[in-house]
Each structure stands twice: as structure tokens, then as C-alpha cells.
Structure 1
Amino acid sequence: MMEKMIFGRYIPVNSLLHKLDPRSKLCAILIFIFIIFIANNAITYGILAIFTFLALYSSNIPIKFLFNGLKFIFYLIVFTFLLHILFTREGDVLVDFGWLKIYERGLTQGIFISLRFLFLILITSLLTLTTTPIEITDGMESLMKPLRKIHFPVHELALMMSIALRFIPTLMDETDKIMKAQMARGVDFSHGSLKRRAQAIVPLLIPLFISSFKRAEELAVAMEARGYRGGEGRTKYRQLNWRTMDTIVILIVLSLGGILFIFRT
């Protein structure tokens, strides 16, 4: 399951989103994260669903691949939905089974919050699916360039965030390999009491931490061997180019926020 996680992976295909400037994608996602909290009824969430579908379609990434990667997060979405249904006690009672009561407010909140979570995961995943780690680093560095005036380490922060995103799928693959190796030795991660499952995770965490530190050391040595000394004086082989389509994308996302504000209750 973990090897199918979509977050942090780059898929090289020919699409509109792949051709966009990384700065426009970063800005569009930040705006989307803000405006998604404007939605508060069925109409606004329907508009968000249409926008999310169009964004996924324009990426040319197979929908089946995207939702296979969401299986790992599906349980968290279901857990969030159940929390709202069971513990929100406002509005009319829709279901009454003695100790179990489902209220109208809890049901609607559970659906809306779960959809909001799903849309956020899908849209933010598009950043890494359609943008290389180098492009993300250059985009972040360019957007934070004004902070250099106060001697803020812009390049180092952008590089750190880019490396973190890049190593998410690597760590997931490593976790999956270690789990399979432990299962071959008789470790059971899916059965038994909660305490027993927690104890079974310990043999997984120790080699994972060791592997993570080893990879970090190898990366540091490789960067030093290639003469990396930070962002000072560093030149770029490929320059970022903001085009008309990037401006159009930002205007579309801003228009989405305006439409949601009009239809919200």
C-alpha cells in the first residue's frame, strides 16, 4: 500500500500543469488552501468538486493512479467522518438506536469536512506530481526572495523543504520493504491486540530511523563532493519564466474564491 502513495512523487507526463511556472502552482495552491474554508454548503462544495476534477483532468495523470495512492489516507478520512457523526450533537436527530444517535449537523459536518480534507490532499498532491524537486526549490526561493533583505536563509529553507518532499515517497518505499522483511520473519502487523500491534512497530521503527540517517549522511556527502556551499553565488541552468497562462491560472483560482463567497450561506 505504501509504495502507491502519491504525495511527494513526480510523474513526468505532458500536460498543462506540468508546463506551468512552479511559482504560479505554489501561489494557486496557497490561495486554494485559504478559499476552501469559505465553502459551507452543498453548492459551494459542488463547485469545489468540479474545480478539483478539472485540475486533476488537466494534469493528464490517470485518475485510477491518484485514487490508488489515496487508499493510505482513506482510513483517516473515514475516521474524521465518524468522529463528527458520533460526537456532534446539534440539529434534528436522524437516527436513534438508543445509545447511538446521529444528528443532522453531525452528518453534514462529517461529509463537508471529509470532502474538504479530500480536496486538499488531491490539490496539494498535484504540486509534487507535476513539479520536479528542483523546480519546487527554485519556485520557493523566488517567491521568498524579498526576505533576503533581512538576511533570511531563503535558499537553504527552500532546499530543505524540497528535500523533505522528495524523501517522503523514498521513506514510504523503505518502510514497505522493511515491513515485508519483518513479515517474512513472522512479525504480524495486522492482527492481535492494540498493545501487541504497537510492540510489532518497534522492529520497524529502528531500522527505518537508521536507514533515514544513513540516507541523510549520503546526501550531505554527495552535495559536498559536488561543491555545494549554499545559495550564495549559485547560478541556475534553467531560468523560471512566468507566462500568460500562469496569470490566467491565478485569476481562475481567485475567481473561484469569489464564486464561493457569493454562494456561501
Structure 2
Amino acid sequence: MEKMIFGRYVPVESLIHRLDPRAKLLFVFAYICIVFLANNTATYAVLLVFTMALILISRIPIIFLINGLKPIFLLIIFTFSLHLFFTEGGKLLFQFSFIHIYEEGLRQGIFISLRFMLLIFVTSLLTLTTSPIAITDGLESILNPFKRIKFPVHELALMMSISLRFIPTLMDETDKIMKAQTARGVDFSSGPIKDRIKAVVPLLIPLFVSSFKRAEELAIAMEARGYRGGEGRTKYRLLKWSGADTGVFVFLAILVALLVYLRS
């Protein structure tokens, strides 16, 4: 849990940190769509190089991102196994009893797992290089046209920002409760599955109580400071679109063109 990176912000000096949050949000949305253009070794290699370049520019340690994959590593292995054992096509690589591994299954397993990891890296970079306040401002600015149809843009952006902000806090709170329960003799890591599931109950109850208490304290603090929604509110930090933000989408267009060219 200490290695959970989603929702955390790392305040270092880099080009990506200085970009407008609107540019980063739009880039992530576009990248999620673009990654599905890859369908062969060359296109995935281009995406991998592009993503590694983003990580280097962001100055976020690659080990930090790899450690962040560990909480969902089992999900990646499960995805890989599904394609490896259930996708047929191409040359038969391995056969034992009812287990058949085909060339296409191995290929799809590697590609889908790599696609999953690339998406996690890029979406994690968004929160690692953008503060929750900046994400709120950027999202509100992007959704601003929906205010014409009375859509609660400010409230939605605020809820998402608070959710991102408290993910690391809840993880830290869970870790503290687990250590306290372990000190009292609760075993979370060994024994039958049934007993381990029962051991989670004493963990969930104090976690929910702590979460509701924290939410109530936040609501009281916001009311004490006169918060009444986004109507008529001004901003201390104004977003400014720069040439570097435009350059992001120029490189994105080049990436799309290259992927389309390399598609088989």
C-alpha cells in the first residue's frame, strides 16, 4: 500500500509539471484512444519509446512507477494468462493434456498486457505531475461549456479532485489499521482463505468509520470557510495556455500518423 502511486503528487521541477493541466487532461484522454491503434510489434515499440520519453521528461523515477504496478500485478498476470491459454491461432507452441498455447495467444497476451501497463503509466503520470487543485481547475475549464445546460461542472470537478486527494490518505489509513490489527494478533497473510476473509472485517469497519469522520470534518471545514458552490467564485490561480501545451498535441499528431503508417 505504501507503493500505491495513483492519486499521489510528486512536486519536482520538469517540463511536464509546468504544462497546463487542461493540456495534460486532454492528452491523457487522447492517449487512451490512441493506444488502441497499436496492433503489431512496431506500433507497440513506438508507444513504449514515447511513454518512456514522457517518464524521463517528467523526472519521475522509473522504479517508482514500476513499484506502483505491484498492487495490480496480479491483474496483469491474469489478463496475460487469459489470452495465453484461450486464444487460438498461428503455430502451436506448447501442448500438455488440455493445455494448448498458440503463437497468437502468446502474442496477444504480451500486447494486451503491455497496453495495460502503458495506460497505467500515462494515467499515473497525470496525477504524479499535477496537483489535485490543478486537476480540478483544468477539468472544470474543459467541462465549462456544459454549464449552459445547468450541469454542475464545478461540483463534479471538486468531487473528482477530493477523491484523488484522499486515495493516498485512505491507503495510509488502511496500512495503519492493518499494522494495529497485526499487533493484536490478526493474521492477514497466511491461513485458509476463509479465515483471511474474516480477518478483513475488523479492518473494514474502522476504515469506514474513519472515512465518514474525515468526510464530515471536510464538509464542516468547507462550510466554516463560506463555501457555497461554484457560482460567483473567482480563482487565485489562472490557467495559461502556452506554446509548450500546443506542442504536446503536435507531437501527439505525429505519433498518430506514425502509428497509422506502421499498422499492418
- For the criterion TM > 0.5, the same-fold answer is yes
Distance 2:14 2:147 in 1: 34
2:59 aligns to what SS in structure 1? coil
Where in structure 2 are the equivalents of 1:159-198 lying within 5 Å?
159-198=158-197
For residues 110-143 of structure 1, what are the alpha-carbon distances to aligned partners after superposition, in whole Å with 9 as ceiling and x for unaligned? 1011001100000001111111111000000000
Mean alpha-carbon deviation: is it higher for 85-94 or for 55-64? 85-94
Q: Any unmatched runs of 5+ in structure 1?
A: none
2:93 aligns to what SS in structure 1? strand
Distance 2:174 2:255 in 1: 39
Name the aligned partner's letter for residue 124 of structure 1: T
Deviation at 1:4, TM superposition (A): 1.5
Distance 2:237 2:84 in 1: 51
Deviation at 1:165, TM superposition (A): 1.0
Does residue 19 (structure 1) correspond to residue 18 (structure 2)? The answer is: yes
Q: Is the 8 A contact 1:82 1:110 kept in 2?
A: yes
Name the aligned partner's letter for residue 261 of structure 1: V
Distance 1:176 1:191 in 2: 17
Deviation at 1:192, TM superposition (A): 2.0
Q: Is the 8 A contact 1:147 1:154 kept in 2?
A: yes
Partner of 2:45: 46
Does residue 208 (structure 1) correspond to residue 207 (structure 2)? The answer is: yes
2:2 aligns to what SS in structure 1? helix
TM-score (norm 2): 0.97
Deviation at 1:196, TM superposition (A): 2.1
Distance 1:22 1:255 in 2: 21
Partner of 2:103: 104
Mean alpha-carbon deviation: is it higher for 99-108 or for 50-59? 99-108
Distance 1:236 1:189 in 2: 46
Distance 1:196 1:250 in 2: 52
Deviation at 1:151, TM superposition (A): 0.8
Aligned length: 264
Where in structure 2 are the equivalents of 1:141-156 lying within 5 Å?
141-156=140-155
Structure 1 segments (4+ residues) deviating >4 Å? none
1:3 aligns to what SS in structure 2? coil
Cα-Cα RMSD: 1.1
Distance 1:231 1:254 in 2: 35
Mean alpha-carbon deviation: is it higher for 175-184 or for 18-27? 175-184
Distance 2:78 2:246 in 1: 38
> How many percent identity over aligned positions?
66
